[in-house]
Every structure is written in C-alpha cells, then in structure tokens.
Structure 1
Amino acid sequence: MFDGFQRVVTEIDGVPIHAVHGGSGPPVLLLHGFPQTHAMWHVIGPELARDHTVVAPDLRGYGDSGRPASGEDHAGYSFRAMAADQVGLMRALGHEEFAVVAHDRGARVAHRTALDHPAAVTRAALLDILPTTHVYDHVTQAVATAYYHWFFFIQPADLPERLIAADPVGYLHSLLGGWGSGLDAFAPEALAEYERCFADPDARHAMLEDYRAGASIDLEHDRADAGRRVTAPLLALWGSRSVVGASPIDPLEVWRGYGEDVRGATVDAGHFLVEEQPGATLAALRTFLRP
C-alpha cells in the first residue's frame, strides 16, 4: 500500500507520530478513525496524490504512532491534543496551511483543528459524523443502540480492556462489519493492518482513552466554544446506510450550525464509505478540494 510514498516518524511535543506522505501540489491531510489506521486511505490517498501533496498519519494511540499517558482527565487523548499533533506534523513537513479530509474520530480531530488553528486549515471534509456535543445532547434509544460502544468504552479502565481482550480480532471484525458496511468492504491488506494494530493491548487501551476523553474533557472544550463556527469551507459527507444517514435528522442542517460555509452530500454506503465506495467518495472530495 502507498507505493511511492515516504514513511516518517516525527516527534511532536514528545509524541512520535507515524505518517506516510507523497505526491505534489496543495497539501491535504488525511485523518483516519476508529478502529483503523492511515491504511484506510490506501485507495484514495494515492489518487489524491496525483495533484496534491498527501499526508496520512496515524493518530496518537493508533497504528504505529506513540501512545502517551492519558492523565486522570484523559487530556492526553483529547481532540485538542491530537489536533496539535497534526498541525505540528504538517509544519514539520513544510505545510503551514492545508486542507483536511477526515473520517470518524479523525473527523472530530479535524473539527477541533479547524477551531483551534483556523489559520492552518484551508478547508475541511468531515466524513460520517455529527458534532460530538450534538450526539451526546440528542441520545435516543436508536442512537444508544447503534453507538453502544461510546458508552461501553468510557467505563473506567480496565473493565472494557479486559472484556475486549477475550477475543480482540473477533470484536474488531464485529465493529468493521457493522454500521451499514460489511466486512467484505475492506481490502485484505488493509484488514490485516487493522488486525495487527488492534491485537496490541496498549493500542486498544489508547483507543479507549480516546473515547473517554471524548465524553469528558472534549465536551468541556466543545461547550466552552459553544456558538463558534468553523470559518473554513466545510464538507459534510456521509453514508446513506450509516447511523448518520439513517437518522431522521438532516446532517447538513446540523453542520450548518457549526460552520459558516457548509455543503454536504451522501454516498451509497455504510459508515466506512472511504473503503466501501472509494470512487464516489473520491469524486466528492475532488470537487470540494478543487481551488
């Protein structure tokens, strides 16, 4: 995967961030979500690299990036900390300004990056999420059922860790095969990479710390910023068969409350639209990223 790309490990404030980068042209940062790594961009990344400089890192705690201590308030895995990682990485690679395309947890990092570092983010595509505060403030039985992991993962360590350890790969497959996408949406080499990383107990703990931060310090940050909008152009893209797509709430209407210039579209896919429908996803992204 990522033939012709370079692999780098860059230490940002003491945390090693692993990434691949390649191509030439306007820079675009690709951020993955849970329970994946940068490998989720193995089709779209090289295609975008035809006319962009593409950087695809592993978020802290994921893949081959560092797994710092989280702290009692889980701040070590806050979206604010992850956003600072990505701005630092891009600057280290020579990119003061960049577009960001992000999925799932990575899209929450991108949202925070656009708020905390507005001068750095030229445009942001957020794939298959609704804002974190909106989700927590509008929990229904349907949302709690579909997003049960949000409430399971935030239980105190190490209860979720021990339960998942009983069959980590089997549990990983249940996650990837859910939310409207089947397990056959994933290329064997990408699935093998997700399995390799999820087999690491330290990686699984770090991923859960991401969710614990999301239900605590991240909400504090978001509520302190209530009313602030992303100033960069924002694209909301979601799968028609995902939890977001199946919701009676219009995702585009929701995001227009969080950004000044918001557009949106749906893709005939489940949650993992990047790998399930790479062609349609790429087409929407190319249109959005076009100067």
Structure 2
Amino acid sequence: MTIFEEADARLLPGFERRWIGTAHGKVLAVVGGTGPALLMLHGDPQTHLCWHQIAPKLTDRFTVVLTDIRGRGETHKPGHDPEQSAYTKRAMAAEQLEVMYNLGHNKFALVAHDRGARVARRLALDHPKAVTQLAVMDIIPALDFYECSNAQIAQDYFYFSFLTQDHPVPETLIAGDPEAFLKLILMGLSDNAVNYDALALQAYLQANTTPEAITAMCECFRAGFHIDRRHDQTDREAGKKIACPTLVMWGEYGVVGKHFDVERIWRGWCELPEFAPMPSGHFIPEEAPENALAALNGFLSAKAL
C-alpha cells in the first residue's frame, strides 16, 4: 500500500479511489456518499486530502468527488510547454468537467480552495450550466490580484512572482531543497502554525516534491500571470459574471484577508455573492474546518442544487 492509499484509507474512510481517463491523462478521483454531486478541489501544495476533516461530514447528503487537480498529487502532470497552455485555469477547468461527466454528473456544486478555487471559478464562468453553486476559499481572481499587488503583498506572497519566472529558473532553484520550499508555503501563510495531520502532510510532501510536480506548479503560476489574467480581462470587458450562488470565504489572518478588499473584488465577478470570513490563515480546510463546514452546510442547504 502506498502512502497515498494509506492516507485515503485512514483519513477518508468509505471513499473509493477511482482513476478517470480524460483527453490528456488520468485524473485521480476519490468518491463517497450519495445524493447530488459535489466536486471539491484542493490547492497548493496539497492534494485532495486537504478535505479530510470536511468531506466525510457531507457524504450523508452529497455524492462527494475529491480530485487531485492536474499537475498535483497522483493526477497526470504535463511537462513544460512554451505556450503555457496546459495549466491555464480554463484548460484545467475543462478537465474537471470531463471528469464529472465521466462519473455521470452533468450538474454539480463546487467547493474549492486556493489553486483549486481558481480552477473552480473558471469552470463556473466557462460552463455555467454545469455549476449549481460555487464556494471559493481564500483567493483573489488573477487579474485583480496583479492589479492590486503592492510591495507588502509581493513580500508575503513572494512565490507568486518567483514561480512565474522563465523555465527552468525556479525549478532549478527549488531542486536544491524542494521539501523546504514547500514547507515554507505550507507553514508560512498564517499567523499561527497549521496543525496538519502528520500522514496528510507526509503525502503532500511526497506527492509534490518530485521534479514533475515542481514543474507543474511553476507552469500553473506562469499560466496565471501570462494567460489567466488575459482571460479575466476579456471577461471583465464583456461584463461576464458568475451566475450561480457563490460563497466567498477567506482567512482573516492570511494575506488575502489582510491586504485585499475581498467583498468589493468579488462583487465585481458574481451575480449572487455571499461572504464568510474565517478565523484562520490561508489553509482554511485544515485551520478552521468546523467553521468552514458550518458555512458550507448553511450555504448548500439554503440553495437548490
């Protein structure tokens, strides 16, 4: 049994590991529960395991689908692409939609954190008929992020600039001690230490410190800077907004909560926004799982799926 299988067995009892073939490669989906479909997408530098304190408590009402997004965990990892197209949030969103279609779900709710939330937001914008509800955790859309950045944000979120540098500059530097680099992110985005489950943390580090995973992370950030914000600009100029009910969550003690006007920014992107600040830093699913679950339960229960 691999560490990933062991972690799923212990932290997500009752969930089934499934490999879903897509046009570009295999995606790991971990599925549990019954009822309307709910897709949950993780962030960096983590895997689907970040939901282990929340997802099992939703399976009595939903068919919960946890995936490793493209380039992370056990899912396929396209290599460096000079066009940077493989890791646009548009491409990653289309792949997640393909996964859900292959699982038999044409409509579903979406809950997502960090990088996964960027994918989820793009999925809701590009495929509005598929997404019934959207909950995003601790992100600012790419265009707004770069427009609003200042010296302190650049310091606190240093890797947003570092990882976007040309291939293979960041990859080469991270290769000196990839575990230390990932721990710097995992431990450095909150005023307090994050109490990760030891097995989950081990799985995050093992999955995301390989050369392929490091390149994937860099490519994803490069796509955010070079392409995703252009997609956002096009949508903004067209007046395009997320149509479904949207819950925006953020950590009050993280970079997003400290430096951005979250409600103003997201009102510009959503027709039906709701807001729920969390008493945490960036890693809401593991820093404030009970608060996040309460907010999600209220939001999901109040809206028709």
Q: TM-score, length-normalised on structure 1?
A: 0.97
- Equivalent of residue 116 in structure 2, options 74, 99, 106: 106
Residues 175-184 or 10-19, more deviating: 175-184
Q: Which residue of 2 aligns with 1:241?
A: 253
Which has the higher mean CA deviation after the structures are superposed, 182-191 or 278-287?
182-191
2:227 pairs with one of 217, 231, 243: 217
SS of residue matched to 2:242? coil
Task: Write the distance in 1 (CA, Å) between the matches of 2:192 and 2:98.
Answer: 35
Structure-1 residue corresponding to 2:106: 96
The 2-side partners of 1:219 and 1:251 are apart by 17
- 1:142 matched to 2:149? The reply is no
Report the Cα offset of residue 14 of structure 1. Answer: 2.5
Distance 1:42 1:170 in 2: 24
Deviations 1:163-205 (A, max 9, x none): 1111111121111111115444211111011011122111111
Specify which of 172, 196, 215 is matched with residue 206 of structure 2.
Answer: 196
| 8 Å CA contact 1:128, 1:237 repeated in 2 | yes
1:39 aligns with 2:49: yes
- Calculate the aligned-residue CA RMSD, in Å: 1.2
Q: Secondary structure at the match of 1:211?
A: helix
Give CA deviations for 1:70-110 in whole Å, capped at 9, x if unaligned: 53221011101110111111111111000100000111101
State the 4+ residue runs in structure 1 displaced beyond 3 angstroms.
181-184
Are 1:18 and 2:28 an aligned pair? yes
Gaps of 5+ in 2: 1-10
Equivalent-residue separation in structure 2 for 1:177 and 1:235 (angstroms): 26
Aligned to 2:137: 127
Q: Output the CA distance in 2 between the equivalents of 1:198 and 1:288.
A: 32
- Counterpart of 1:95 in 2: which secondary structure? coil
* 2:244 counterpart (219, 228, 232): 232
Amino acid aligned to 1:43: Q
Which residue pairs with 1:177 in the alignment?
A: 187
Partner of 2:6: none
Deviations 1:50-73 (A, max 9, x none): 211100000111000001245322
SS at match of 1:264: strand
| Identity score, percent | 42
The question of whether the paired residues in 1 share the 8 Å contact of 2:135 and 2:248 is answered with yes
What code does the residue aligned with 2:276 have?
A
Contact 2:20-2:26 within 8 A present in 1 as well: yes
Number of equivalences: 290
Alignment TM-score, normalising by the size of structure 2: 0.92
* Distance across 2 between alignment mates of 1:37 and 1:114: 21
Partner of 2:173: 163
Residues 242-261 of structure 1: matches in 2 within 5 Å? Answer: 242-247=254-259, 249-261=260-272
Aligned-partner Cα distance in 2 for 1:181–1:60? 30
User: Distance between the aligned counterparts of 1:239 and 1:252, measured in 2?
Assistant: 13
